[in-house]
């Protein structure tokens, strides 16, 4: 695909800074729509390719460049969501959204050790928690786009209608349906400190290989899911409604792989855990809690989705 490339050092490039300043918003929007930062980056890249494929006159004729970029990125995401389910049928094992680290760790999270461009960082709030993103996976592509654009980014339904190809009234109904599903799945909101205390207790019980303590921290209907992408073993995490099996699976993992280090980290803006082996993060775990019990454990073990976390140890 060929297109004109932006000349970042050209002082005559009209509105270049204004156009590029939209990048962070586009990354945030696309990540929430797709649940994959890698895919979000591809969407934003393609969006800018389409912008710079236009002539200067065509660009100048666009009244709101930011609105144009958002509309194009959203349409690309909508198309990708439509094909994502078919792609995931061939995905090995469970598919989970790609986890993102806390802001402070974005500075060294690249495998290259280079700092992440601030324009590519995801703003971490409740609309990017792992629990929220997992629920979004149950929505239709149109519901997801309508809900995220309206409820998270506050876009009017008239604009959303142009993106999804439906009437404003239909888009309002899509957002309402999505909102209802998300509300039904939401756990009661509790403070981050409260969540951190529970996750810390879980970490200590795991390190001590204390089956009883682990079980006591798990809700009777707890679900544990791992995304390995077929690259690593994950059966120890694929368990539902069996706290004893979940606890034994976690302890078995530690016993089989000596030298693991478990650390407390913020995962998608919520307290979580990461597991290191030889100084390299091999698992990122996110949690959902209700009434002092852990109801969901989401373990990312697919190395392709841990690129922001996989910092090589220093000599």
What integer pLDDT is reported at residue 21 of this predicted model?
87
What integer pLDDT is reported at residue 188 of this predicted model?
62
Q: Which CATH class is domain 16-92+139-184?
A: mainly alpha
Nearest Cα to Cα of residue 246 among 204, 290, 298, 283: 298
Burial (0-12, 13-18, 19+ Cβ within 10 Å), 163: buried
Look up the CATH number of domain 99-137+187-315. Answer: 3.10.450.50
What integer pLDDT is reported at residue 193 of this predicted model?
80
Sequence length of the chain is: 315
What integer pLDDT is reported at residue 223 of this predicted model?
95
| Cβ count near 98 (within 10 Å) | 25
Whole-number Å distance between alpha carbons of 6 and 19: 10
What integer pLDDT is reported at residue 89 of this predicted model?
72
Residues of the chain short of pLDDT 50, as ranges, are 1-12, 14, 106-115, 312-315
What integer pLDDT is reported at residue 191 of this predicted model?
66
Whole-number Å distance between alpha carbons of 59 and 74: 19
Residue corresponding to tokens 């999804």:
164
* Domain boundary assignment for the chain: 16-92+139-184, 99-137+187-315
Question: 130-165: per-residue pLDDT in tens?
Answer: 999 999 999 999 999 999 999 999 999 999 999 999
Residue corresponding to tokens 């997992």:
134
- Dihedral pair phi/psi, residue 257, rounded to 5°: -120, 80
What integer pLDDT is reported at residue 184 of this predicted model?
82
**Do 16-92+139-184 and 99-137+187-315 come out as alike in CATH topology?**
no
């Amino acid at each position: 695909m060929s297109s004109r490339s932006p000349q970042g050092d050209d002082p005559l490039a009209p509105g270049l800074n204004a156009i590029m300043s939209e990048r962070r918003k586009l990354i945030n929007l696309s990540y929430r729509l797709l649940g994959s930062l890698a895919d979000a980056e591809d969407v934003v890249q393609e969006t800018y390719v389409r912008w710079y494929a236009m002539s200067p006159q065509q660009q100048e004729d666009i009244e709101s460049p930011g609105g144009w970029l958002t509309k194009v990125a959203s349409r690309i995401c909508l198309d990708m969501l439509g094909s994502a389910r078919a792609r995931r049928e061939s995905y090995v094992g469970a598919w989970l959204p790609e986890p993102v680290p806390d802001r402070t760790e974005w500075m060294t999270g690249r495998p290259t050790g280079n700092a992440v461009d601030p324009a590519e960082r995801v703003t971490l709030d409740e609309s990017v928690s792992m629990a929220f993103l997992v629920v979004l996976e149950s929505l239709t592509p149109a519901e997801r786009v309508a809900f995220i654009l309206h409820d998270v980014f506050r876009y009017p339904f008239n604009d959303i209608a142009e993106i999804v190809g439906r009437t404003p009234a239909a888009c309002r109904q899509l957002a309402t349906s999505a909102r209802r599903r998300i509300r039904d799945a939401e756990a009661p909101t509790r403070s981050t400190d409260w969540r951190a205390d529970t996750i810390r207790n879980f970490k200590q019980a795991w390190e001590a290989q204390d089956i009883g303590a682990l079980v006591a921290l798990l809700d009777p209907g707890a679900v544990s899911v791992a995304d390995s992408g077929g690259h690593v073993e994950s059966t120890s995490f694929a368990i539902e409604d069996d706290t004893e099996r979940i606890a034994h699976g976690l302890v078995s993992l530690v016993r089989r792989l000596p030298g693991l280090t478990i650390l407390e980290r913020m995962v998608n803006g919520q307290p979580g855990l990461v597991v290191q082996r030889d100084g390299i993060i091999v698992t990122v775990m996110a949690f959902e809690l209700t009434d002092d019990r852990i109801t969901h454990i989401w373990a990312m073990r697919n190395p392709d989705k841990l690129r922001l976390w996989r910092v090589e140890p220093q000599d």
